[in-house]
Amino acid sequence: MTLLRRHGLKLPVLLICFVFVQSLYFKFTRHPETIYIFETRLDPWAASLGFPGLFAPGGLFSARVIGSAELLAAALLLFGTVVPGRLVIQGLGALLSLAVISGAIGFHLFTPLGISVIDAEGRPDHGALFAMACLVWLSSLVVIAARRHELLALVRSRP
């Protein structure tokens, strides 16, 4: 087995896990940046479409709900990496990761959040959050492509 084949997925898996896990502090502690993104920018936008409270604490897409999905995705990716014979778990983590990050990219592109996020103090991030989301999206696709046989076998085994 070649070195790339044996260890090639560790980089995209670790990148996804790094981005997701480092953001948990912000999402679970109600950090001012997270409050600004979810409650000041996204929730009023959702309310204008008839969905008030969607991004507020306790809402369907609140910071804690998104953070919990990111934590679960990272745990599945890592578990599937370190436990032999559980590659399908890694694939499921990558699918969840792709779903979460696709939502994030969509909100950057199609809401007032924008690509360059302005924080609560008026400082732009110059697209850093968006760039990280794009890297996570690409990394998720790489893992899904590598685990496609395991994922398809899981689907085919259903009655």
All structural domains of the chain with their residue ranges: 7-156
Q: Is the dihedral of CA 23, 29, 32, 35 positive or negative?
A: positive
Give phi and psi for 118, each to the nearest 5. -95, 125
Please state, in angstroms and as integers, the Cα–Cα distance from residue 18 to each residue in 11, 23, 86, 137, following that order: 10, 8, 21, 13
Per residue in 126-156, pLDDT (tens digit) is 999 999 999 999 999 999 999 999 999 988 8
Lowest mean pLDDT among 33-37, 69-73, 103-107, 120-124: 120-124
Statement: residue 74 has pLDDT above 80 = yes
Predicted confidence at residue 41, as pLDDT, reads 92
For residues 52-62, give the mean pLDDT.
95
Question: Regarding predicted confidence, which is higher, 154 or 8?
Answer: 154
- For the cut 70, the answer to whether the pLDDT of residue 26 exceeds it is yes
Q: Which pLDDT score, from 0 to 100, does residue 7 have?
A: 66
pLDDT at 1 over 50: no
Range 18-22, long-range pairs (CB < 8 A, 24+ positions):
19/132, 19/135, 19/136, 20/70, 20/71, 20/73, 20/74, 20/97, 20/136, 21/70, 21/71, 21/74
Backbone φ, ψ for residue 15 (5° rounding): -65, -45
Task: Encode pLDDT of 27-52 as tens digits.
Answer: 999 999 899 999 999 999 999 999 99
CB of 85 within 8 A of CB of 78?
no
The average pLDDT across 71-95 equals 92
Token pair, residue 15, equals: 């990148």
Mean pLDDT of the chain: 91
83 in helix, strand or coil?
coil
